[in-house]
Structure 1
């Protein structure tokens, strides 16, 4: 019951700007969530907060503490990044094209439509109105597209679609004052930047970049004019005060203003266009750019996948390379300027590149199309995902990084299965092949095929790994191969519909299969007896799973029910009516009332917990349901997303949005991408999905395609429209009053430890079920007393004790000491553990996972030390 959102894997980068905080943290939007990648530790996390729709703009405070996330609906989240908590929310009313914190962190500039708004940045103190609007500039004639602050936070540059750049001053000026305008560009402004002198760190120039690939350099000089003189042609709206003008009379027009004066006089000086440069990438359009003040370098990205790095102000090309043939949607520097981050929304890819050494720091790419299937490795450390983009990715669950991608399949990957050895992965695809992958050498070492091409949608392997079975979509057959030889052994016929569910019994060699022909069949594969049992249903059967002990079978049907069968006696044990539990969310084009919205709702994927006490079910809904099997009751519902950019999230539709032509949100009445000179980017899905699953404007329908609970039972993952959602147990203390009385307190445990009563202290801490006390008691016991203390622990506390060992092995430096505990526990309670393995299975799997990880780490360390010692010995022997 105590599962919380942990991470989001496999979701592609779909757009928006990426930023680098504290020089090593890459922050990027992923749908309506935010992903944070540590480029040094190679770890990625996803913040638990969600926006109302896809996030389009993000900005971070200079110290990296606060994060601003703005979605497509102009709704903003103000987030405390270290605590991963949402502090405030605000709605900007107009679409936001750019947002930036001031260098001192006190203000936030927001480009909301034609307006430039300056807000006071909220802090750590509690405020009733956290966002205070300081100033609004309404001088632009079209949408504002780019912003930049001066180093002293007194001035603001704003580029607009009206082909101009304006210089705004935040200080209150006496008299009438209109912003200085930088004119001359012939296309939309994409970037504006203040340039500074390296020695004095004062503003000395301005760079303006337009979409047609032009970069203009502007310098300022002193004015030599009288109050009656006509203003400069480049600044028709510029007005100057008399006292400021009189001071400029004393100077010659060719003299430059000193840097000390420039910081407070940028709005009064004369700006001259000193240089025009062009990137020469026509007909490609400039789509993204960034500037590093310390290095005086500009990076630009184009719609043809080319990016350029230029040293300014001399406009010297350092690099001009091509990432792909698709539009570069974001390009940014880190704080030091040695790393470049590029994002391509069409490919769902983020790259971090070190331009000096020309090497990749990060190259991550999620599944661009929906993830169809996933599988946990037996030790729960790895997770494999397969999707409609024909790719298989293998992830390290703890770090959230994909370390290998297999691309040999030529059609959608529909099923995955880890072999018991933990080093072999099986995959089935619509391309008519079943492939075996070696996770040591990262290669496809065996391919299983059929005499005539078939589309495989389900996959299973027996416990020994000798036999591989796959169910088909078109011929309704089950094919059986030998793992050793790769030869086709048998073809199981009998189903009259697609075989979408296959699973071997965990304890016997019986294969269970489910089909759309409204039946579940059991097959004796090894003895060649064919179908030995058939369970008939009134509706199409969508999936089938075995309980981990093999004594129960669960299957879901098209009418939204889950049926539980006894596979030995062939009797129906329970039935759960889940249609109303899974109901929720209506399509934008849905004309049915909410009362009838349950029709068509059903579970398409099931997964038993490690102990078999509860089952997870997901399908064509925004909910994932957790049921208690014995009592057939709903324990909890998980809502997989709040993203209104997806279809099927809203429970109530607004009738005002319905017209004769359909829903207003589905009417494509703009050509923004074509207007920008870039091909419109829509997600076109393969033909595997049902017709109409991507209506009109390509809004994906929220649903769950695959569910898997980790063998340890500590986490579970769901392949959804948003990506692979990973939920794990909450590590916070949960008070469990089992076997408690008034004498069981933390003070009593401390006193038992002080009186040298280790057995009593450990049992009291286990009864209290407080994590820190249990670990303290374990560590305080001497190695000599371990055997006696373990023998005195009652069996009902073994599960909690084993979980404590697994957690200590993850963090505690006393490796041999904890392994000694595990050894004595196995000797003293080995028979009881074997007799009750089903209840202790999650804890034992967690302990196995921790020991396996430590074994791998120690093996790598010893191997590296061995070669180092050999090298030192060989060098020391030389004269």
Structure 2
């Protein structure tokens, strides 16, 4: 039950701003969550923080400590990124279109509609309301879409939809308020505006404004023509004769007052200059020549004087300023580029395409990819864990099969041979072969060593396959159909069709072989579960009738129990040997909750349409996970038939079915206000509205509300190690794992079992007693400390003294050490001695040790793979050195 959210796969990017922090951390929004990718270690994690709706804007402090997120509901989260916790929350009154930290980290500039707001950054202050509004500028006539700070955090350059850019002075100016300087001459929205500096003096002496109609304006600041009075902010008037003494006295008083004002607040510009009241002139106007495409993203690197731009046709360009020399002009795709940014050093470019779920990091000097990830275009339909739990395969309605590394969160191969939606996946026992079934009428076998489709299974006439299974030996492949209600059986070695199993009268949506024998179980919409003896060819040997359509079927890992879910929201448990119904779980009320925008009934009565569409046993068979057309994933205890825990998939209000109560104010004569799309910004940019959706046979389930996705779970799979499980949901593939830091399980405690007793046993050189005490406490840090306190020569004796009841916990600790500690030989010695001492007991009780042994096997396999390449390289180097020395 100690499962917590760990990562989100299948959707690396869905729109919004992407930023790079400290030249190594790529931060991007994924729905209402934030994904952080370490570009040095090539690992990605998803923060355990959820916003109220899809995140559209990100900003990070210069040192990378604080992260600011703003979602579509105008709600802001102030996050401590290293600790991954939310420090403060706030809701803006107007929609936010841009946000940026000042270089010194003191202020946050927020474009709230037409207003430019300057907020003081809260930092680590613990206050009821930590955000402090410093200034508000209301000079723009339309919403602000671009913001840039100068190097000293005193000036702001903003671009607006009113076809202008404005230069604001952040600090208060002595005397009356003066309007900001306007940069005019644009014929479309100013998408980006940036300050430029002189490399010698490091002063702001130029500015760039970039418009949506693919033009770049270069502006220069001329100090020689600056005739404004720096004291009063007004042009000096010629003094009349006879009043020189009086003017001198008044001017002295002005200077005196001005010095007093300057002492209270630092309001001077660079070297006493006021850029917003100075002389700016248009130096040149350059066109990107990409019409009819629109410019959708841009960024500027001050140190290298480079500009990168992205267009709605998928093309991006890199230009050297101020001469506007094109360095690169390449195409990523045919869809709109939604974000384009530099890293701090300027050697990496980050591009994002929301419609394709594409995220790229490109090194422009060597013209090579640092990162290239793309999620599924549509919702994920099916999942499959590899036998060693290191890989996770996903199939979706975009006809693609992707294989992900669970530990890093990266997709390393994509198979695109299918021509219709992928509906089922299955890993073979050898870990190097993956099977996939599709609506295109084929079942394909993929080689994960050579990354190719080495075998394709088809039927005599075209059929749509929706379920897939393979026996334990890997010799027989079975697939169930949607249209002909048959089960096709092929030989894995020859690819020949061996048999066609007929008897079902509805689509066969569930298939699974028994883990202990060659009996195949199938579930169908004809309200039956059938057992088939595939090898003997006897047809259906048993039929289990139900009152409603059967949606899926799964075997318990020991093969002594069969679970299936029906359309009325129940889970039935059968004894496959005696053919008897053991018990039934009524789960409709457990997954009830969440009201759709188009529902005419309340959420309390919405359980009528709720049912479980996917089931999955735990590795030891003690509990079962169930998910379906709901925002919940339910965990049941099989023996007692009780609900242990409910996992809520998401709190994202951008999805339908999350709220139990809807706001009646949002209901209009034309329908729900949230379903009325009155924003034509994408159409104006020359591209279609970018909405994710679903295609195929179950289109009404996911995108029934005019492009608004409905939260649900399509597939659940538990890793063979039992330490994690994955759920294919509307938000993506959510991975939950057991928290490794501390699991308090007081099953064998008394007053003498304390951390102090463990320390005392270690100080008295009693490693065996200390290890047993730490295992009774079940504190991870203490267990590992006691493991390392044992001398290598004493490992065998200590391993023999460990009671059988603590073996599972000790094996789990050793598996974790194998993956995370450098003392590899020491831990391997522990594993060997433990297996020698208790191997017979582990084999006799294999079911109890199944999850722990698979975790250990996964750690050993991963460690072996990590060391294989360096060892081979070192061996070759040593042979070369030895041979070279022998020749001499």
Normalised TM-score (structure 1): 0.95
Alpha-carbon distance in structure 2 between the residues aligned to 1:435 and 1:845:
28
The alignment yields a C-alpha RMSD, in angstroms, of 2.0
Alpha-carbon distance in structure 2 between the residues aligned to 1:12 and 1:32:
12
Deviations 1:822-875, CA, capped at 9 Å, x for gaps: 223223322221221111111111111111111222222211212323444566
Bigger drift between 172-181 and 131-140 goes to 172-181
What is aligned with 2:214? Answer: 213
Alpha-carbon distance in structure 1 between the residues aligned to 2:226 and 2:6:
65
Deviations 1:475-522, CA, capped at 9 Å, x for gaps: 111111111111111111111111111111111111111111111111
Cα displacement (A) at 1:106: 0.5
Cα distance, 1:739–1:682 mapped onto 2, change above 3 Å = closer
Alignment of 1:165-204 (within 5 A): 165-173=165-173, 174-204=175-205
What is aligned with 1:231? Answer: none
What is aligned with 1:156? Answer: 156
In the alignment, structure 2 segments of 5+ residues that lack a partner are 240-246, 248-267
Alpha-carbon distance in structure 2 between the residues aligned to 1:106 and 1:688:
54
**In the alignment, is the contact (CA less than 8 A) between 1:146 and 1:159 conserved in 2?**
yes
Alpha-carbon distance in structure 1 between the residues aligned to 2:283 and 2:866:
59
What is aligned with 2:616? Answer: 607
What is aligned with 1:793? Answer: 802
**In the alignment, is the contact (CA less than 8 A) between 2:551 and 2:566 conserved in 1?**
yes
Alignment of 1:27-176 (within 5 A): 27-173=27-173, 174-176=175-177
Equivalent in 795, 814, 826 of residue 835 of structure 2: 826
| 1:738 counterpart = 2:739 | no
SS in 1 for 2:34: strand
Alpha-carbon distance in structure 1 between the residues aligned to 2:238 and 2:819:
71
Deviations 1:519-552, CA, capped at 9 Å, x for gaps: 1111111111111111110000000011111111
| 1:575 counterpart = 2:584 | yes
Cα displacement (A) at 1:207: 0.7
**In the alignment, is the contact (CA less than 8 A) between 2:618 and 2:722 conserved in 1?**
yes
**In the alignment, is the contact (CA less than 8 A) between 2:626 and 2:634 conserved in 1?**
yes
Cα displacement (A) at 1:133: 0.5
Alpha-carbon distance in structure 2 between the residues aligned to 1:710 and 1:846:
10
What is aligned with 1:4? Answer: 4
Cα displacement (A) at 1:17: 1.4
Alpha-carbon distance in structure 1 between the residues aligned to 2:35 and 2:825:
37
Alpha-carbon distance in structure 1 between the residues aligned to 2:589 and 2:615:
17
SS in 2 for 1:846: helix
**In the alignment, is the contact (CA less than 8 A) between 2:12 and 2:373 conserved in 1?**
no
What is aligned with 1:354? Answer: 363
Bigger drift between 342-351 and 682-691 goes to 682-691
Cα distance, 1:682–1:364 mapped onto 2, change above 3 Å = same
SS in 1 for 2:609: coil
Bigger drift between 513-522 and 828-837 goes to 828-837
Cα distance, 1:859–1:245 mapped onto 2, change above 3 Å = farther
What is aligned with 2:340? Answer: 331
SS in 2 for 1:849: helix
| 1:561 counterpart = 2:570 | yes
Alpha-carbon distance in structure 1 between the residues aligned to 2:464 and 2:633:
28
Cα distance, 1:339–1:778 mapped onto 2, change above 3 Å = same
SS in 2 for 1:267: helix
**In the alignment, is the contact (CA less than 8 A) between 1:382 and 1:394 conserved in 2?**
yes
Cα displacement (A) at 1:215: 0.9
Alpha-carbon distance in structure 2 between the residues aligned to 1:749 and 1:686:
59
Alpha-carbon distance in structure 1 between the residues aligned to 2:723 and 2:123:
37
Cα distance, 1:188–1:875 mapped onto 2, change above 3 Å = farther
Cα distance, 1:227–1:397 mapped onto 2, change above 3 Å = closer
SS in 1 for 2:276: coil
Equivalent in 394, 406, 409 of residue 397 of structure 1: 406
Alpha-carbon distance in structure 2 between the residues aligned to 1:602 and 1:517:
16
In the alignment, structure 1 segments of 5+ residues that lack a partner are 229-238, 248-258
**In the alignment, is the contact (CA less than 8 A) between 1:115 and 1:140 conserved in 2?**
yes
Equivalent in 241, 245, 259 of residue 234 of structure 2: 241
Alpha-carbon distance in structure 2 between the residues aligned to 1:784 and 1:166:
75
Cα distance, 1:87–1:859 mapped onto 2, change above 3 Å = same
Cα displacement (A) at 1:759: 2.5
SS in 1 for 2:806: helix
What is aligned with 2:790? Answer: 781
**In the alignment, is the contact (CA less than 8 A) between 1:203 and 1:262 conserved in 2?**
no
Cα displacement (A) at 1:226: 8.0
Cα displacement (A) at 1:260: 8.8
**In the alignment, is the contact (CA less than 8 A) between 1:667 and 1:696 conserved in 2?**
no
Alpha-carbon distance in structure 2 between the residues aligned to 1:595 and 1:741:
46
SS in 2 for 1:749: helix
SS in 2 for 1:648: coil
**In the alignment, is the contact (CA less than 8 A) between 2:593 and 2:604 conserved in 1?**
no
Bigger drift between 454-463 and 687-696 goes to 687-696
| 1:273 counterpart = 2:266 | no
Alpha-carbon distance in structure 1 between the residues aligned to 2:849 and 2:597:
46
**In the alignment, is the contact (CA less than 8 A) between 1:521 and 1:533 conserved in 2?**
yes
Cα displacement (A) at 1:684: 4.5
SS in 2 for 1:862: helix
Cα displacement (A) at 1:626: 0.4
Alignment of 1:313-324 (within 5 A): 313-324=322-333
Deviations 1:73-92, CA, capped at 9 Å, x for gaps: 11111111111111111111
**In the alignment, is the contact (CA less than 8 A) between 1:227 and 1:245 conserved in 2?**
no
Alpha-carbon distance in structure 1 between the residues aligned to 2:322 and 2:375:
38
Cα displacement (A) at 1:707: 0.2
Deviations 1:318-376, CA, capped at 9 Å, x for gaps: 11111111111111000000000111112110111111111111110011100000111
Deviations 1:539-595, CA, capped at 9 Å, x for gaps: 000000111111111100000000111111111111100000001111111111233
Deviations 1:402-421, CA, capped at 9 Å, x for gaps: 11111111111111111111
Cα distance, 1:692–1:804 mapped onto 2, change above 3 Å = closer
Cα distance, 1:296–1:804 mapped onto 2, change above 3 Å = same
Alpha-carbon distance in structure 2 between the residues aligned to 1:533 and 1:487:
27
Alignment of 1:448-463 (within 5 A): 448-463=457-472
Alpha-carbon distance in structure 2 between the residues aligned to 1:871 and 1:245:
87
Cα displacement (A) at 1:167: 0.7
Alpha-carbon distance in structure 1 between the residues aligned to 2:844 and 2:716:
29
Cα distance, 1:244–1:379 mapped onto 2, change above 3 Å = farther
Alpha-carbon distance in structure 2 between the residues aligned to 1:227 and 1:328:
43
Number of residue equivalences: 859
Cα distance, 1:693–1:261 mapped onto 2, change above 3 Å = closer
Alpha-carbon distance in structure 1 between the residues aligned to 2:868 and 2:305:
47
What is aligned with 1:255? Answer: none
Bigger drift between 795-804 and 547-556 goes to 795-804
SS in 2 for 1:434: strand
Deviations 1:265-308, CA, capped at 9 Å, x for gaps: 21221111111111111111111110000001111111111111
Cα displacement (A) at 1:692: 6.3
| 1:376 counterpart = 2:385 | yes
Alpha-carbon distance in structure 2 between the residues aligned to 1:355 and 1:422:
37
SS in 2 for 1:579: coil
SS in 1 for 2:517: coil
Alignment of 1:361-760 (within 5 A): 361-691=370-700, 693-760=702-769
Alpha-carbon distance in structure 2 between the residues aligned to 1:527 and 1:128:
73
SS in 1 for 2:13: coil
Deviations 1:117-157, CA, capped at 9 Å, x for gaps: 01001111212221100000000011111111111111111
Cα displacement (A) at 1:735: 2.2
Cα displacement (A) at 1:876: 5.6
Alpha-carbon distance in structure 2 between the residues aligned to 1:656 and 1:218:
48
Alpha-carbon distance in structure 1 between the residues aligned to 2:123 and 2:665:
40
What is aligned with 1:840? Answer: 849
Equivalent in 758, 768, 777 of residue 777 of structure 2: 768
